[in-house]
């Protein structure tokens, strides 16, 4: 912030001469950890000078000197995905409360973009990373963590459990969804899944299978073609496919809310109604899911809390001096929120 016209900020050196002390003394006076080393009267003089000159530490200079920037890189697929605003807010509130600032980057789930973003954030000197872009097999992230860089994974995790993470009980949440459908009398249930490179997709599929198996129901493998992306369009495509494969289908469990919305479209397209003919359940409870037509039954978890927890985990890691503390994994609870996209299985179709 010192362009041609900008008023130059005052420096520590200026504060020192204004207060009649050495710059080192000003530095000590201003750092809470060393403040008690300085004489009360000197401290007073320094503080007065700081006030007079409206001095504020140049964090760039401090970072260069201390090798700590109090900055963390946050890497997410896309802030436009309705899952992320709350999550990012939780993250930043958590970081902010302890003096960290976040630099956020978007990857659109493109691995090359991700690498490039991580590299750039490293050049900017971030102290660590929070990543929401993990793939099931992810050598890049494993390497990053192995290098000793502080990393915590969020929402998605890698196959190995070497990197700390905050995730959701994807398996349990989806199992609850299927059970609810079964209680409503549904027997022909399809899963509209996310790309299998994502841990969330795998766990949700597992939960689906487990619940079906436990009810003695067959899951048609063909009715579970995985998506190429977690989008509404893919949800529509897969929903359409599922409806074609099994015209007697009465319910769909989608891997997330966006895909559930796509299923709404596929159902309408087929001349059917939700929940009259086909029930739909999503995952995430994205903002305004209660305002959809029909209001969406979905698996809720605390997006904000997830971000907040990840921030806490990273900060703790940043503070411990251990080279490689053992990775902790936090798994958040889910809660099935029953709204109006699910209903009893229609007698003639079920």
Identity of the residue, 67 or 218, whose beta carbon is nearer to DNA in the bound complex: 67
Residues between 251 and 270 that touch a second copy (CB under 8 A): 261, 264
The reply on whether position 122 binds DNA by CB under 7 A is no
* x-or-dash string of contact with DNA, 255-274, rule CB under 7 A: --------------------
Reading the block at residue 242, the tokens are 């599922």
Give the one residue of 23, 128, 305, 344 binding DNA; rule: CB under 7 A.
23
The reply on whether position 285 binds a second copy by CB under 8 A is no
The reply on whether position 61 binds DNA by CB under 7 A is yes
What residues have CB less than 8 Å from 302, skipping those under 6 apart?
A: 332
CB atoms within 10 A of CB 64: 11
Reading the block at residue 127, the tokens are 């102290």
The reply on whether position 318 binds DNA by CB under 7 A is no
DSSP 223: G
The reply on whether position 51 binds a second copy by CB under 8 A is no
Count of residues interacting with DNA (CB under 7 A): 31
Reading the block at residue 290, the tokens are 């209660």
Whole-number Å distance between alpha carbons of 308 and 332: 12
Give the one residue of 62, 86, 113, 349 binding DNA; rule: CB under 7 A.
62
Reading the block at residue 139, the tokens are 């050598």
Rounded to the nearest 10 degrees, how much is the dihedral formed by the CA atoms of 10, 13, 17, 23? 140
Beta bridge partners of 329: 165
What residues have CB less than 8 Å from 141, skipping those under 6 apart?
A: 131, 134, 151, 153, 158, 163
* x-or-dash string of contact with a second copy, 138-177, rule CB under 8 A: ---------xxxx---------------------------
The reply on whether position 292 binds a second copy by CB under 8 A is yes
In contact, 163 and 152? CB cutoff 8 Å:
yes
Laid out side by side, the sheet with 189-192 consists of 189-192, 251-254, 279-284, 297-300, 335-337
Whole-number Å distance between alpha carbons of 301 and 141: 25
Reading the block at residue 48, the tokens are 């007065």
Identity of the residue, 1 or 221, whose beta carbon is nearer to DNA in the bound complex: 1
Identity of the residue, 26 or 88, whose beta carbon is nearer to DNA in the bound complex: 26
The reply on whether position 322 binds a second copy by CB under 8 A is yes
The reply on whether position 294 binds a second copy by CB under 8 A is yes
R_g of the chain, CA atoms, integer Å: 26
If contact means CB under 5 to 8 A according to the sort of partner, which of a second copy, DNA, none does residue 218 touch? none
Identity of the residue, 61 or 146, whose beta carbon is nearer to DNA in the bound complex: 61
The reply on whether position 42 binds DNA by CB under 7 A is yes
Closest of 155, 106, 115, 119 to residue 138, by C-alpha: 115
Identity of the residue, 59 or 214, whose beta carbon is nearer to DNA in the bound complex: 59
Helices 23-30, 12-19: crossing angle, 10 deg rounding: 100
The reply on whether position 13 binds a second copy by CB under 8 A is no
DSSP 5: T
Q: Which residues bind a second copy (CB under 8 A)?
A: 1-7, 9, 56-61, 63-64, 67, 69, 71, 78-80, 82, 84-86, 88-89, 92, 101-106, 119-120, 122-128, 147-150, 261, 264, 287-288, 291-295, 318, 321-324
Interface with DNA (CB under 7 A): 8-9, 11-13, 20-25, 27-28, 30-31, 34, 36-39, 41-42, 55, 57-58, 61-62, 64-67
């Amino acid at each position: 912030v010192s362009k041609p016209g900008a008023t130059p900020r005052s420096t520590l050196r200026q504060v020192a001469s204004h207060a009649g002390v050495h710059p080192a003394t000003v530095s000590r006076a201003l750092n809470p950890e060393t403040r008690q080393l300085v004489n009360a009267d000197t401290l007073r003089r320094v503080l007065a000078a700081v006030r007079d000159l409206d001095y504020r530490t140049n964090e760039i200079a401090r970072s260069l000197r201390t090798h700590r920037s109090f900055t963390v890189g946050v890497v997410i697929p896309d802030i436009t995905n309705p899952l992320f605003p709350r999550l990012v807010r939780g993250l930043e509130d958590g970081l902010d409360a302890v003096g960290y600032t976040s630099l956020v980057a978007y990857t659109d789930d493109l691995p090359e973009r991700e690498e490039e973003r991580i590299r750039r954030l490293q050049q900017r000197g971030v102290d660590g990373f929070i990543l929401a872009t993990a793939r099931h097999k992810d050598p890049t992230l494993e390497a990053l963590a192995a290098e000793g860089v502080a990393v915590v994974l969020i929402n998605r995790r890698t196959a190995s459990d070497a990197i700390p993470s905050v995730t959701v009980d994807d398996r349990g949440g989806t199992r609850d969804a299927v059970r609810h459908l079964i209680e409503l009398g549904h027997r022909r249930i399809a899963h509209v899944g996310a790309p299998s490179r994502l841990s969330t997709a795998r766990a949700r599929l597992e939960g689906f299978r487990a619940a079906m198996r436990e009810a003695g129901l067959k899951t048609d493998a063909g009715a579970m073609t995985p998506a190429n992306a977690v989008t509404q369009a893919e949800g529509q495509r897969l929903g359409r496919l599922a409806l074609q494969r099994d015209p007697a289908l009465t319910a769909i469990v989608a891997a997330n809310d966006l895909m559930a919305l796509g299923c709404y479209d596929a159902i309408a397209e087929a001349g059917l109604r939700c929940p009259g003919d086909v029930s739909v359940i999503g995952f995430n409870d994205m903002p305004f899911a209660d305002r959809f037509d029909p209001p969406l039954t979905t698996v809720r978890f605390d997006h904000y809390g997830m971000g907040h927890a990840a921030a806490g985990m990273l900060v703790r890691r940043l503070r411990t001096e251990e080279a490689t503390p053992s990775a902790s994994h936090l798994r958040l609870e889910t809660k099935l929120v029953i709204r109006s996209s699910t209903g009893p299985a229609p007698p003639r179709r079920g």
